[in-house]
């Protein structure tokens, strides 16, 4: 699991963790243009163009600290977003109403939980680095697993994995 968040300037960031939200909000940045990895293209029609990334929302302190590390160690040419904890890389836009409803339902019944990272948990991932969660990982993986099970038929094989 890669540590990263929505930008602190995004309206949802002022509300606290997503688990406290009664409705889900999806952030789409149209100014980010990059090549999608084939493994991140969801199953679906050829007309499927919009893809969404789902991340956990963290508090400002965590966001700022992880973003500072990301800017220091992540390749600058690939640095398109601030630090975040990715749950899914490529959710199909055609399923957005279902995705929003499922996230809203899950957020309404998920209590706030702590996360933590440590120096010993840094790992290489392709062209950059990630930091494993040492606190909160089981809860984050449980959230991902529940959503993955609901969306399995719409996800690419890369997203279906554990």
The answer to whether residue 6 is domain-embedded is: no
**162 by DSSP, 3-state: which?**
coil
82-130 pLDDT, tens digit per residue, is: 888 888 888 888 889 999 999 999 999 998 888 888 777 777 777 667 7
Cα of 83 vs its chain's centroid, Å: 10
The answer to whether residue 152 is domain-embedded is: yes
The answer to whether residue 148 is domain-embedded is: yes
The answer to whether residue 93 is domain-embedded is: yes
What is the extent of the structural domain holding 138?
Answer: 11-25+36-160
Higher pLDDT, 11 or 63: 63
32-83 pLDDT, tens digit per residue, is: 444 455 555 545 554 456 888 898 888 898 889 888 888 887 778 877 878 8
CA distances from residue 41 to 2, 11, 65, 160 in whole angstroms, order as listed: 19, 28, 31, 12
The total number of structural domains that make up the chain: 1
pLDDT of residue 45: 54
For residue 106, the tally of other CB atoms under 10 A from its CB is 16
The answer to whether residue 3 is domain-embedded is: no
The answer to whether residue 94 is domain-embedded is: yes
């Amino acid at each position: 699991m890669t540590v990263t968040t929505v930008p602190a300037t995004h309206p949802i960031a002022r509300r606290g963790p997503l688990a406290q939200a009664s409705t889900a909000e999806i952030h789409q940045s149209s100014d980010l243009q990059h090549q999608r990895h084939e493994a991140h293209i969801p199953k679906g029609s050829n007309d499927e163009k919009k893809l969404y990334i789902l991340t956990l929302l963290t508090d400002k302190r965590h966001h700022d600290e992880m973003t500072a590390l990301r800017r220091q160690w992540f390749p600058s040419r690939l640095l398109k977003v601030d630090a975040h904890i990715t749950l899914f890389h490529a959710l199909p836009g055609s399923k957005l109403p279902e995705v929003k409803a499922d996230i809203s339902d899950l957020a309404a019944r998920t209590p706030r939980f702590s996360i933590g990272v440590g120096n010993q948990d840094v790992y290489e991932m392709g062209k950059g680095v990630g930091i494993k969660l040492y606190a909160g990982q089981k809860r984050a993986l449980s959230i991902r697993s529940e959503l993955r099970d609901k969306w399995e038929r719409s996800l690419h094989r890369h997203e279906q994995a554990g």
